[in-house]
Amino acid sequence: MPRLAANLTMLFTTEPVLERASRVRAAGFRGIEILFPYEWPASDLKAWIHEAGVELVLINAPPGDWNSGERGLAAQPGREADFRSAFSSALDYAAELACPRIHVMAGLRSGERDACDSCFVDNLRHAADKANRFDIDVLIEPLNDRDVPGYHLSRLDHAKQIIAKVARDNVGLQFDFYHTRIMEGDVEAAYGEYRPLIRHTQIAGLPGRHEPDGGDVDGPAVLRMLDADGYAGWVGCEYRPRTTFESGLGWLADFGIAAPSDGPAT
């Protein structure tokens, strides 16, 4: 079956990172994602991850000032220096933590589409060339325009165009079934069409971005599709539990993921 990574940022909100990682390991996960690990020293994270016995498979580059509404810098003309400084930090963390993927967020559109695209392509080439020395992939991900209105990259065909213009072997697509269901409709058809570009996948339920146990995103069906396709990458479980992390794992029961006991409320 596909390898499953628990997104520590989305699945938990209050527990220390080590406790989060230990709980997902106890539940049967072997991989983790952390959206923005920069509040912890990389050396501490490395020790925590090693102690928990999990693999860090994805981080995001710093997105700018998140609290003031910034959602990335890569497609922001005039912010090139800010982006490159942020990506340098991400690369330092990824290299220290042996994380093979960095998601680079485009940001909200701040000018004409062509100017934002040109900036995006230039910044991605810079990032890819820097990351290539460490055998790290640089990923871009379309985000739906309901949750992130005004985001520069919201459709898969746009992502495909950007990746083609960047023309670097270590730049690829982060395919999120939740965002895709909202923007594209048929997730199976979209996955098939863009499969050659996909380096990482993520999943969440719709509506609510809770467990993908029904509704418009059928998590078990998605995992069976990926398994049948021979997908060998990771599937990031990037959702918000309705109650607790452990009590919401029923959707994975058929895939050998089940917590031994319920944990503290998330």
Torsion angle defined by CA atoms of residues 21, 89, 38 and 262, in that order, rounded to the nearest 10 degrees: -20
Q: Do residues 22 and 15 touch, judged by C-beta distance below 8 A?
A: no
Q: Which of 114, 47, 129 is nearest to 77 (CA)?
A: 114
Using the CB atoms, write b or e for 80-103: b if 16+ within 10 Å.
Answer: eeebeebbeebbebbeebebbbbb
Task: Tell me, yes or no, if 141 is annotated catalytic.
Answer: yes
Residue ranges in 113-155 assigned as alpha helix (H): 113-132
For residue 213, give the nearest of 182, 253, 181 by alpha carbon. Answer: 253
- In sequence order, the β-bridge partners of residue 72 are 106
**C-alpha span between 255 and 223 (Å, rounded):** 9
Is 238 among the catalytic positions?
yes
Q: Which of 33, 141, 184, 211 is catalytic?
A: 141
User: Among the options 33, 211, 238, 246, which is catalytic?
Assistant: 238
Q: Write the CB contacts of 218 (distance below 8 Å, at least 6 apart in sequence).
A: 212
* Active site positions, annotated: 141, 238
